[in-house]
Structure 1
Amino acid sequence: MTGATSQVLTLEDFLKLPETKPASEYISGEIIQKPMPKGKHSRLQLRLCNSINDAAESQKIAYAFPELRCSFGVRSIVPDVAVFYWRRIPFDADGEPPNDFLLCPDWTIEILSPEQSCNRVIGNILYCLQHGCQLGWLIDPQDRSILVFRPGQQPELFQGSDRLPILQDINLDISADLVFSWLKMEIQK
């Protein structure tokens, strides 16, 4: 009786592969392609990035990157929004951000798509927290709630007018209601 030998792909090998659209992530030796972002997801992602960057970029406090590959530890993930404190962005000699971010974000935000595994997404948030991330959000547009993760604490569920925790030093007052109000767009008459 002979067994088939399968070769395990390493993180280094994965990072040499061409990028996919939508992005693929490397988790526990497995390549998992994220679902294609749809309307609500894209709208929330853009508004979150813009709001965070409006509050933090000009003062060089932090920056929110959409769909940025972050490779650290034994994973390569692509959070919907990856926020880095300015001092942790590994700028190159020209003062530009690098193509490869080999560190975890300070704040990871995921917007749950109907076809995504909630536990897999939570697994990525928890992995980030284990590697130095300070804050994680899981936004569920379907039930209008945001599950917030912080190191060493139980997750907290935020809904309605609950004020959401954000990274320290970012002057941004935001509630679950405000986040989901961004889904409403005026109808042109």
Structure 2
Amino acid sequence: MVTITPIKPQITLEQFLQQDYIDEAPAYEYINKEVVRKPMPKTHHSRIQIKLASLIESVLEKKKQAVTFTELRCTFGSRSIVPDIVIINRQQIPLNEDGELDNNAIFFAPIWSIEILSPNQKPTKVIDNILFCLENGTKMGWLIDTDEKMIMVFQAEKALKIYRDEDILPIIDNLDLELTPSQIFSWLKL
């Protein structure tokens, strides 16, 4: 008996970016010539995302060197992804003629990409995106696993390291912030 595998129609990155549906919540990503929808976040994911992004932004605002965004479409190389949190150098951010943020996606890799694993999300797919970011200029990537209470840290030209409990997490350069996994996961308690 011959088994026939259905062929998924492939679209180009340019075609993907012209689709109206890609920014519906949850967003769609373009990875390895496939359109993939991100899972809908649950409470753990959402709570850590808002608390961590707010904390990082409060520190960055004082320095005026970088800016924090959540769920911002980043298109570069051969992918269009939507990390949970990204940090971007201020001088790279496109502005309109009024000096306001250009209301579009960005077309370069962020300096720091943070992903929070959602239930039923395959960690290998998220790790693949973080590694892709590093290959394209990102300095650091975090994968936060709320079930395992650990944070995987990826850095350019360094070995993967897992942080737990009271380990001090590495942070991008010039950011005066000391964080541990215990602090981050404490946000799950009200």
TM-score normalized by the length of structure 1:
0.92
**Which residue number in structure 2 is paired with residue 9 of structure 1?**
11
Q: Distance in 2 between matches of 1:153 and 1:57?
A: 28
Amino acid at match of 1:43: R
Amino acid at match of 1:184: K
Q: Does 1:90 align with 2:103?
A: no
**Which residue number in structure 1 is paired with residue 3 of structure 2?**
none
Q: Does 1:63 align with 2:67?
A: yes
Q: Does 1:170 align with 2:175?
A: yes
Q: What secondary structure does 1:51 align onto? A: helix
**Which residue number in structure 1 is paired with residue 107 of structure 2?**
102
Q: What secondary structure does 2:153 align onto? A: strand
1:6: how far off?
A: 6.9
Q: Residues 61 and 170 of structure 1 are in contact (CA less than 8 Å); yes or no, is this contact kept in structure 2?
A: no
1:94: how far off?
A: 1.9
For the structure 1 residues 22 and 101, does the alpha-carbon distance in structure 2 shift closer, same or farther, using more than 3 Å as the test? Answer: same
**Which residue number in structure 1 is paired with residue 39 of structure 2?**
35
Q: Residues 134 and 151 of structure 1 are in contact (CA less than 8 Å); yes or no, is this contact kept in structure 2?
A: yes
Deviation digits for residues 147-166 of structure 1, max 9, x if unmatched?
A: 00001111000001101111
Q: Distance in 1 between matches of 2:171 and 2:97?
A: 30
Q: Distance in 2 between matches of 1:5 and 1:75?
A: 21
TM-score normalized by the length of structure 2:
0.91
Matching residue within 159, 168, 173 for 1:154 = 159
Q: What secondary structure does 1:58 align onto? A: helix
Q: Does 1:24 align with 2:28?
A: yes
Moved over 4 A (4+): 4-7
- In structure 2, stretches of 5+ residues that fail to align are 1-5
Identical-residue share of aligned pairs (%) = 43
**Which residue number in structure 1 is paired with residue 78 of structure 2?**
74
State the aligned residue count: 182
1:57: how far off?
A: 1.5
Q: Distance in 2 between matches of 1:114 and 1:24?
A: 17
Q: What secondary structure does 1:12 align onto? A: helix
1:63: how far off?
A: 1.2
Amino acid at match of 1:8: Q
Q: Distance in 1 between matches of 2:27 and 2:114?
A: 16
- In structure 1, stretches of 5+ residues that fail to align are none
Q: Residues 62 and 170 of structure 1 are in contact (CA less than 8 Å); yes or no, is this contact kept in structure 2?
A: no
Amino acid at match of 1:56: L
